[in-house]
Structure 1
């Protein structure tokens, strides 16, 4: 994946310990939009994706926790086919990143 091309991801996690769950939730708020309890959608460049993977790997406890990242493809050209009951689903849009 090119570093300047953002991909749209749906990230879900099942974390065994409430303290680690809160750390993951806070981390994910900085990378994407919260959809449900342990589900986020994120628009990530290759660099931000690698950074997030590294940070998540440093928090989770292998063998106890589980993180799933679904790559839906290039964010500007993918049209997710989502069935949403209740609340409306809107793919996260590009926003400026302040560093």
Structure 2
């Protein structure tokens, strides 16, 4: 959509239970890139929804979320460079313990 913007959302959540809630919520808004990093193409309305949802989940003074506006989604081609390990898109899989 022409009115979408590309955002990189990254978060540092101090409590494991809250971290899982934020992680699950983010899946409804974007593509998982790395442990606590998502790439999101959001309209103004969806961005506001995401911000509201995150404010409900994070604890002020303990958690930190960054929403980085990269620019218009239809004009930005996100390029990623990996240093260290080779970048590969993370895949979720069940772990049986």
Compute the TM-score of the two structures, normalised by the length of structure 1.
Answer: 0.81
- The reply on whether 1:17 has 2:18 as its aligned counterpart is no
Unaligned runs of 5+ in 2: 90-97
Indicate yes or no: 2:44 matched with 1:46.
Answer: yes
Aligned pair partner of 2:76 in 75, 78, 89: 78
- Give the CA deviation at 1:80: 2.9
Greater Cα offset, 74-83 or 51-60: 74-83
What 5-or-longer segments of structure 1 have no aligned partner?
90-99
In the TM superposition, residue 88 of structure 1 has moved relative to its aligned partner by: 5.3
**For residues 88 and 74 of structure 2, what CA distance do their matches in structure 1 show?**
20
Count of residue pairs the alignment pairs up: 87
TM-score, with structure 2 as normaliser: 0.82
Q: 1:83: how far off? A: 1.6
**Residue 32 (structure 1) aligns with:** 30
Q: State which structure, 1 or 2, has the greater radius of gyration over its C-alpha atoms.
A: 2
Note the aligned Cα RMSD (angstroms): 1.8
Q: How does 1:55-94 map to 2 (within 5 A)?
A: 55-85=53-83, 86-87=86-87
